[in-house]
Amino acid sequence: MTKPDNASPVAPSASRNARRQSLKSIRWKAARPMLFAAVLISVLYLALAALVIAVDPHNVYRWGAEPRIEAGDTPRDLVIDWIDVAAKDPSYNTFLVGSSITAMYTPEYMREILGPDTNAANLSYGGPRPIDRDLVLDRLVDNPAVKRVILTYDWTYMEGADVANRGFPTFLYDDDITNDLRMVNPPTIRRTFDILRGKTTYSNPDDAGYDAYIENMYARFQSPPELSRIKRMVERNRTGITQSSGKTCDSFTALNEQLIPDLQKLSARGAQVDILFPIVSYAFYYVRRNDISPTLLDEQMVARRCLVNAVADLPNVSIFALDNDPTVAGDLANYREVGHIYNPAILRRFMMAIKNGSDRVTRENIAEYEEEIRTAVKDYDPNRDYTDLRLVVPDL
């Protein structure tokens, strides 16, 4: 049987094209809602970004509402979003730039000890690292109202100058404006609308929660099983505790490239800088050598010596330490964790040292101080009873 003369050889192709067009139409109809949603989300995001940047709830620009931290508040870890809010506030003349070991100091407490002319802000937050610490200090260097900076010289200065706290919003404080779009998140959006409603003062709602956290932390640390675990770790890590790291002052890039230049600038401006060697226990060097460095003790002592010698000739810069006192660093009853002091008397003694100029570490006594720490850690007996020793804290 032959094909009809009018049979079209392209009919199958036309049919396929028709099917393709039909599929495209179906796909486009299915995709339109998703594309519309994507466009709507993009427009909404850009609108929110424009609103956030215009209102400037973090006070990172030269415009905006210029919000403030509530007078007397201690924002603690929340302060990482408010660095510019506090550092640019001309009403503050004293800043505590610390870590979790100094988060408990309230502005009222510092004012009580340091004097009525002290208007303090506590910029302490957990786990500072060189990059974010440098960003904070840079803002204080640029603030002409700053008269005093209290600074902790944490073990993290052993890390490289390019290391940042993973939770710190460095994008808020760098020079790349495109990074600022990352601030458009639910907390910042809420702050923006709070400001638009007239609430320009920030406050920290977790004071009671923080106090409960500290008390629970202390109770857990002081439990017999935990103290026994700490003592076992001390004995297990005693071999090699005095091992040399081979580090020199050139090894600490964060110290040389970031901290010392900031200290020089503050000193040249006439600001008083008080530096605290963190009040860690002797057990700290045993317990943390596994996760920080096996030569933690040596690295800390070298890094401290390097700082002392580097700033020895800078006017208005003082360094303080309490951990060469066995009643402070040897007695675990003073701690809520091997690296976090709890005893209120010791916390007060540190502030009193700043006021009175006691417990200073200088170029003249750094060798003696270093030897005292090295010997005390090497010979540390976690079972020693310190109840017969009385910690003397000077009066106001």
Q: Give the angle 72-262-127 at the CA atoms, nearest 5°.
A: 60
Q: What percent of the chain has pLDDT over 70?
A: 90
Amino acid at 31: A
Six token digits for residue 311: 């700033």
**pTM assigned to the model:** 0.86
The mean-pLDDT minimum among 49-63, 168-182, 305-319 falls in 168-182
The CATH number given to whatever domain includes residue 356 is 3.40.50.1110
Residue 123 is assigned to a structural domain of this protein: yes
pLDDT exceeds cutoff 90 at 229? yes
Identify whether 9 is part of a domain. no
* pLDDT-derived band at 36, boundaries 50, 70, 90: confident
258-309 pLDDT tens trace: 999 999 999 999 999 999 999 999 999 999 999 999 999 999 999 999 999 9
pLDDT the model gives residue 355: 93
Per-residue three-class SS string for 220-256: HHCCHHHHHHHHHHHHHCCCCCCCCCCCCHHHCHHHH
Q: CB within 8 A of 347, min separation 6: which ones? A: 104, 105, 341
Per residue in 191-216, pLDDT (tens digit) is 999 999 999 898 876 778 889 999 99
Residues in the chain: 396
Two tokens at 320?
Answer: 């303080």
Using 50, 70 and 90 to split pLDDT, how confident is the model at 132?
very high
User: Confidence band (pLDDT; 50, 70, 90) for 396?
Assistant: very low
Q: Please tell me the predicted confidence (pLDDT) of residue 162.
A: 95
- The answer on pLDDT for 4 being more than 60 is no
DSSP class per residue in 23-69: HHHHHHHHHHHHHHHHHHHHHHHHHHHHHHHHH-TT--SSSS---EE
Mean pLDDT of 165-181: 87
CA distances from 152 to 17, 101, 388 (A): 74, 9, 30
Bridge-partner residues for 337, per DSSP?
340
Query: Residue 123: helix, strand or coil by DSSP?
Result: coil
Measured at the CA of 372, the angle between CA 368 and CA 373, to 5 degrees, comes to: 120
Joined tokens for residue 296: 């933690």
CA 346 to chain centre: 22
Q: Which residue range(s) make up the domain with 303?
A: 68-378
Pairing of strands 201-202, 272-276: unpaired
1 three-class SS: coil
Predicted confidence (pLDDT) per residue in 331-371, tens digit: 999 999 999 999 999 999 999 999 999 999 999 999 999 99
The answer to whether residue 149 sits within a structural domain is yes
Q: Is 234 exposed, middle or buried (0-12, 13-18, 19+ CB in 10 A)?
A: buried
Residue 5 lies in a domain: no
For residues 364 and 70, the model is more confident at 364
**Over residues 177-188, mean pLDDT:** 85
* Angle between helices 260-268 and 130-141 in degrees, nearest 10: 10
> Which has more pLDDT, 49 or 247?
247
Instruction: State mean pLDDT over 163-175.
Output: 91
- The answer to whether position 58 is within a domain reads no
Into how many domains does the chain fold?
A: 1
Where residue 40 falls among pLDDT bands split at 50, 70, 90?
confident
In which element (H, E) is residue 97 found? strand 94-97
| pLDDT band of 19, cuts 50, 70, 90 | low
CA distances from 340 to 26, 74, 156, 207, 328 (A): 64, 18, 15, 18, 12
How much is the pLDDT for 46?
A: 86
The whole-angstrom separation of Cα 120 and Cα 301 is 30
Q: Detail the DSSP E strand segments found in 219-361.
A: 272-276, 317-320, 335-337, 340-341
pLDDT surpassing 50 at residue 227: yes
Q: Has residue 7 got a pLDDT over 60?
A: no
